[in-house]
C-alpha cells in the first residue's frame, strides 16, 4: 500500500501527485527497479527529477524552543532596556509575532511533551519536570494524603514521554523528512530518548534538565566533548554549529530541525567578557539588572542568527517554515548577581507560577510567501497548537483516531480571526517560588482568565481568581467576587477540559489542618541561591588537549619518554581526538600499543557527523593489565562519515602508557597515526 503524504484524491486533490504520494525510500526502490529494466542513465535521471521535485515541493521545518525565555526577555514588545535580541527581531521581520502566546505549562517538561504530541499535560500526564529522575512513571497517579499544611493532594506526575504517542518527529520521519534533535530534551533517557521518538540524530543526547555543569567549556556531558581548539567554547555556539552541519547535510531534501535550546535555563553563567560588558550597562533601578542573564540572552540570540545565516547561505530560507517559542515564562525565583535572574514585568510572576509571567512568552511563525512578513497577531495560541498547525500547513493528514487538544492556527497566520473557545493550563503542583499558587488549573477566554485553586475554599470547595487581562495585565485585582456568573461559566469549561482529558486531579487532603495554613503567606516564595554565588562556585578547570587528545572523565594526560601517559582515578577515564579531516564511512581498524597496571576492559568510540560518542558507535576490547606492552586491534564499523575517535583504555585506577595508535581503512592504509616522540609536553 502507498501512504499518502497529503490529502487523498477523494478529499479534493483530484489526482495522484507521485512526488507527494511516495516516500523517499519507495522512490529509491522504484528507481532501483528501473535501473535493472531500462537504461541506467534514464532511470537515474527519473530518480533525480523525482527527488528534486519532491524536495522543492515540500517546505523544511525549523522549530526553535527556548528554555525559560520570558515574555519580556526579548526586544519584541518594548519591555526591556538591557537585553539585546537583534536576531529575534530579524526573525520577526520574516513572519508573524504573537503577542499572546502561551506555553502548555509553567514548567518545561510538560510543555515539551505537549509540543511533540499536541496534547495537554492533563492528558499525557507529564505535569512536573521530573523526567531526569530514576523512577519511571508512565501513568499519573492520585495521591490520597498530603502534609497537614496542604489542603489538597498533589498527583504523581508521569516521568517519561511514552512511546505510545505518535510524535511530531515520527510524523515527519514517516513522511520522508530527515529529523534531527539538538539541545535539551528532558523527557527521558533510553528507551525514551529522541532516538526512540522519531529523530534520526540527537545531540548531545543528554536527558538532564539543563546544561551539564556549565555553558562555557569544559562541560560535563557524558559523551559530548568540547572542541579542544576552543577551550572556552560556549555551549549554544557549539549546538548551533552542530545544527548547521545538519542543515548542510540535508539542504537538498526536506528536513525537520528540532532545535531546543539550553538557553536561558540554569546554571547561570556566560562568556565572561559579555558579562563584564553588560555589568557596565546595568541600571540598578531596572527590574532587569542581571548582567549574567543579559549575556546569556545574547548568546541565545547569536545561535538564532547562526541558523538564519545558514538558511540564507544555503538558499533554502524561502523553502523553510520556522517556529520560535519558549517552553515557559522567565525565571524569577533564582538569585543571580544579587538579584532575580530576570523580570517579566509588566506581567506578574514567572516560571513555575500560574500567573501570566509563568506561561506567556514570545512566539514567531515564519513561512515565506504565505505568512505576511513583519506582521503581528493578538490571537491566543498555545504550545499544543504547533503539531496540528504544521499538519495543515503541509497538507498532511493526522493518523486515524489521532486526537489533539490544540488547534491549527493557520487562520491567524492568514490574518483571519482564530476561532477557538478557550485554552487551558493544568498545573497540579505548588513549588514554593515567589507568586506561587496551590495546585490549580486555568482557562483563558478572550480578555478573561480564571484560575481554579483545587479545594482551596471553604469545606474543600474550590477557590477562584478571575482577572481581566485587558484592563489588568499584571493580575492585581481578583474579580471573582464581582462576577460569579462568569466564574461559573468559565469553571464549566475547566471541568469539561478535565473530564475530556481524563485528568488525574488533586484531592481533598484528609490530613489538612486549617491552623497550619497561613493564607496571607500564599505566594510568598523565597529566592533560590544559584551555583554562581561565589561561596558555592568551584573554580573552573580548563582541561587542555595533550598531543591533540582531550582528556575526559576521571583521567589526566601527559607526555614523557615518547609515551602518552594516562593517569586514571577509576570510573570513566577517556580521551578523544578530532580528526583533521572527515573520513568517509567504511570499515576501519584502530590499533593501540600500550601497557597498563589499571583494570577493566577498554572501549573505542567513533564520532559520526551529527551524532555524539555513544555506546552504539563503539567496540569493547579486552585489555591485559600486567604492566607489559601489548598491541590491540579493534574493528570499527561506522555507518556515516567519521570526524573523531575516543579511547576508554580502562575503568579502574592506575596508569596506562600509550606508545602509539593508528587508524586504518578497510584496505590497511593508514588514515591517521599518533606517535609521541615529538609531542608537546
**pLDDT value of residue 532:** 53
- DSSP readout, 401-464? T---SS---HHHHTTS----S-EEEEE------TT--SSEEEEEETTEEEEEETT-SGGG--EE
* Residue with the larger pLDDT of the pair 607 and 74: 74
pLDDT band at 261 (very low <50, low <70, confident <90, very high): very high
Q: DSSP letters of 9-24?
A: GGGTT-S--HHHHS-H
Q: Average pLDDT of 502-522?
A: 94
pLDDT on residue 396: 97
Identify the top-confidence range among 486-490, 511-515, 605-609: 486-490
Quote the mean pLDDT of the chain: 89
pLDDT at 677: 77
Q: Which domains does the chain have, with CATH numbers?
A: 9-55 (no CATH), 58-425 (3.40.720.10), 550-675 (2.60.120.430)
Helices within 158-224 (DSSP H only)? 168-174
Of 299, 314, 292, which Cα lies nearest the Cα of 60? 314
* pLDDT (0 to 100) of residue 600: 85
| Count of Cβ atoms closer than 10 Å to residue 166 Cβ | 18
Q: Give residue-wise pLDDT tens across range 544-561.
A: 889 999 998 888 999 988
**41-50, 162-171, 182-191, 356-365: which has the minimum mean pLDDT?**
41-50
Kindly tell me if the per-residue pLDDT of 22 is higher than 90.
Answer: no
DSSP state for residue 546 in the 8-state scheme: B
Instruction: Please report which confidence band the pLDDT of residue 2 belongs to, taking 50, 70 and 90 as the band edges.
Output: very low
Q: Are 107 and 352 in contact (CB under 8 A)?
A: yes
How would residue 571 be classed by pLDDT, with cut points 50, 70 and 90?
confident
What pLDDT does 679 receive? 54
Q: Over range 351-361, report the average pLDDT.
A: 98
pLDDT class of 88 with cuts at 50, 70, 90? very high
Nearest to 298 by CA among 505, 513, 69: 69
Over residues 106-113, the mean pLDDT reads 98
Q: Tell me which of 345-354, 532-541, 627-636 is least confident.
A: 532-541
Task: Note whether 200 and 266 are within 8 A (CB).
Answer: no
Which stretch of 12-26, 103-117, 665-679 has the lowest confidence by average pLDDT?
Answer: 12-26
Q: Given a cut of 70, is residue 678 above it in pLDDT?
A: no
As a whole-number percent, the residues of the chain with pLDDT over 90 amount to 76
Residue 509 has pLDDT above 90, yes or no: yes
> Quick check: 38 pLDDT over 50?
no
What confidence category does residue 61 fall into, taking pLDDT thresholds of 50, 70 and 90? very high
Judged by average pLDDT, the poorest of 276-285, 305-314, 607-616, 666-675 is 607-616
Q: What is the pLDDT of residues 574-599, one digit of tens each?
A: 999 999 888 988 999 999 999 999 98
Residues 442-492 have pLDDT tens digits of 999 999 999 999 999 999 999 999 999 999 999 999 999 999 999 999 999
Lowest mean pLDDT of 9-13, 93-97, 269-273, name the range.
Answer: 9-13
With b meaning 16 or more CB within 10 Å and e meaning fewer, what string describes 408-435? bbbebbeeeebebebbbbbbbbbeebbb
**For the residues 595-605, what does the mean pLDDT come to?**
90
Whether residue 282 has pLDDT greater than 80: yes
pLDDT, one tens digit per residue, over 366-394 is 999 999 999 999 999 999 999 999 999 99
Residue 5 pLDDT: 34
Q: How confident is the model over 284-300, as pLDDT tens digits?
A: 999 999 999 999 999 99
649-662 per-residue burial string, b: 16 or more CB within 10 A, e: under 16: bbbbbbebbbbbbb
Look at residue 21 in the predicted model and tell me its pLDDT: 36
Give Cβ neighbours of residue 309 (< 8 Å, ≥ 6 apart): none
Decide if 245 contacts 259 (C-beta within 8 A): no
- Lowest-pLDDT choice from 38-52, 82-96, 109-123, 408-422: 38-52
| SS3 of the chain: helix, strand, coil, percent, to 5 | 25, 25, 50
The C-alpha cell of 587 is what?
570499515
Show the DSSP H helices in 58-118 as ranges: 86-92, 108-117
Task: Tell the residue number behind the cell numbers 478535565, with chain if given.
Answer: 498
Please name the residues in contact with 343: beta carbons below 8 A apart, sequence gap of 6 or more: 70, 72, 287, 288, 330, 332
Q: What does the alpha-carbon distance between residue 263 and residue 418 come to, in Å, rounded to a whole number?
A: 31
Confidence band (pLDDT; 50, 70, 90) for 681?
Answer: very low
Separation CA 598–CA 653 (nearest Å): 5
Q: Rounded distance, CA 340 to CA 279, Å?
A: 15
Q: What is the pTM of this model?
A: 0.78
Work out the burial of residue 556: count CB atoms within 10 Å of its CB; fewer than 13 is exposed, 13-18 middle, 19 or more buried.
middle
Averaged pLDDT, 69-74:
98
Amino acid at each position: 500500500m502507498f501512504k499518502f503524504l497529503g490529502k487523498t484524491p477523494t478529499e479534493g486533490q483530484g489526482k495522484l501527485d507521485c512526488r507527494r504520494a511516495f516516500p523517499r525510500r519507495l522512490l529509491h526502490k522504484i528507481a532501483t527497479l528501473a535501473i535493472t529494466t531500462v537504461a541506467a542513465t534514464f532511470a537515474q535521471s527519473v530518480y533525480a527529477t523525482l527527488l528534486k521535485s519532491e524536495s522543492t515541493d515540500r517546505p523544511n521545518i525549523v522549530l526553535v524552543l527556548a528554555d525559560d525565555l520570558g515574555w519580556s526577555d526579548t526586544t519584541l514588545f518594548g519591555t526591556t532596556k538591557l537585553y539585546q535580541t537583534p536576531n529575534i527581531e530579524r526573525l520577526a521581520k520574516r513572519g508573524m509575532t504573537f503577542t499572546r502566546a502561551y506555553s502548555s505549562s509553567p514548567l518545561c517538561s510538560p510543555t515539551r511533551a505537549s509540543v511533540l504530541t499536541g496534547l495537554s499535560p492533563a492528558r499525557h500526564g507529564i505535569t512536573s519536570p521530573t523526567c531526569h529522575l530514576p523512577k519511571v512513571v508512565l501513568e499519573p497517579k492520585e495521591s490520597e494524603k498530603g502534609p497537614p499544611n496542604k489542603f489538597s493532594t498533589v498527583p504523581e506526575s508521569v516521568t517519561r514521554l511514552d512511546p505510545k504517542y505518535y510524535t511530531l518527529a515520527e510524523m515527519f520521519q514517516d513522511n520522508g523528512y530527515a529529523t534531527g534533535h539538538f539541545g535539551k530534551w528532558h523527557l527521558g533517557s533510553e528507551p525514551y530518548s529522541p532516538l526512540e521518538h522519531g529523530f534520526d540524530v540527537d545531540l548531545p543526547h543528554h536527558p538532564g534538565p539543563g546544561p551539564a555543569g556549565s555553558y562555557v567549556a569544559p562541560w560535563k556531558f557524558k559523551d559530548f566533548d568540547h572542541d579542544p581548539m576552543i577551550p572556552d567554547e560556549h555551549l549554544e555556539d557549539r549546538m548551533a554549529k552542530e545544527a548547521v552541519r545538519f542543515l548542510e547535510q540535508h539542504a537538498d531534501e526536506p528536513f525537520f530541525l528540532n532545535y531546543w535550546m539550553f538557553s536561558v535555563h540554569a546554571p547561570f553563567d556566560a562568556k565572561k567578557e559579555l558579562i563584564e560588558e553588560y555589568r557596565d550597562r546595568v541600571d540598578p533601578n531596572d527590574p532587569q539588572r542581571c548582567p549574567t542573564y543579559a549575556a546569556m540572552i545574547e548568546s541565545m540570540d547569536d545561535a538564532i542568527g547562526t541558523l538564519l545565516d545558514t538558511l540564507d547561505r544555503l538558499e533554502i530560507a524561502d523553502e523553510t517554515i520556522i517556529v520560535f517559542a519558549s517552553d515557559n515564562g522567565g525565571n524569577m525565583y533564582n538569585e543571580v548577581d544579587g538579584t532575580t535572574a530576570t523580570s517579566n514585568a509588566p506581567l506578574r510572576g514567572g516560571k513555575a507560577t500560574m500567573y501570566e509571567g509563568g506561561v506567556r512568552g514570545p512566539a514567531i511563525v515564519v513561512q515565506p510567501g504565505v505568512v505576511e512578513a513583519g506582521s503581528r497577531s493578538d490571537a491566543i495560541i498555545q504550545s499544543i497548537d504547533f503539531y496540528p498547525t504544521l499538519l495543515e500547513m503541509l497538507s498532511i493528514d493526522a493518523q486515524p483516531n489521532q486526537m489533539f487538544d490544540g488547534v491549527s492556527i493557520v487562520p491567524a497566520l492568514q490574518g483571519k480571526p482564530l476561532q477557538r473557545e478557550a485554552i487551558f493550563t493544568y498545573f497540579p503542583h505548588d513549588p514554593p517560588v515567589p507568586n506561587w499558587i496551590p495546585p490549580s488549573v486555568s482557562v483563558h477566554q478572550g480578555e478573561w482568565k480564571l484560575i481554579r485553586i483545587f479545594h482551596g475554599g471553604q469545606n474543600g470547595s474550590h477557590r477562584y481568581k478571575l482577572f481581566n487581562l485587558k484592563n489588568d495585565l499584571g493580575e492585581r485585582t481578583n474579580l471573582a467576587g464581582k462576577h460569579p456568573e462568569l466564574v461559573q461559566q468559565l469553571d464549566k469549561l475547566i471541568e469539561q477540559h478535565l473530564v475530556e482529558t481524563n485528568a488525574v486531579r488533586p484531592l481533598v487532603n484528609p490530613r489538612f489542618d486549617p491552623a497550619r495554613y497561613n493564607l496571607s503567606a500564599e505566594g510568598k516564595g523565597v529566592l533560590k541561591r544559584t551555583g554562581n554565588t561565589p561561596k558555592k562556585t568551584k573554580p573552573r578547570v580548563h582541561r587542555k588537549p595533550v598531543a591533540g587528545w582531550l582528556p575526559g572523565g576521571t583521567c589526566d594526560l601527559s607526555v614523557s619518554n615518547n609515551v602518552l601517559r594516562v593517569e586514571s582515578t577509576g570510573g570513566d577515564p577517556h580521551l578523544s581526538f578530532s580528526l583533521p579531516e572527515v573520513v568517509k564511512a567504511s570499515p576501519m581498524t584502530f590499533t593501540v600499543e600500550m601497557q597498563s597496571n589499571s583494570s577493566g576492559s577498554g572501549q573505542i568510540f567513533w564520532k559520526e557527523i551529527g551524532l555524539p560518542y555513544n555506546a552504539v558507535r563503539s567496540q569493547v576490547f579486552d585489555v591485559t593489565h600486567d604492566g607489559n606492552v601489548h598491541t590491540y586491534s579493534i574493528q570499527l564499523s561506522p555507518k556515516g562519515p567519521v570526524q573523531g575517535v575516543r579511547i576508554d583504555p580502562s575503568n579502574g585506577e592506575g596508569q596506562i602508557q600509550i606508545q602509539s595508535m593508528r587508524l586504518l581503512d578497510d584496505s590497511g592504509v593508514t588514515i591517521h597515526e599518533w606517535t609521541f616522540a615529538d609531542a608537546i609536553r
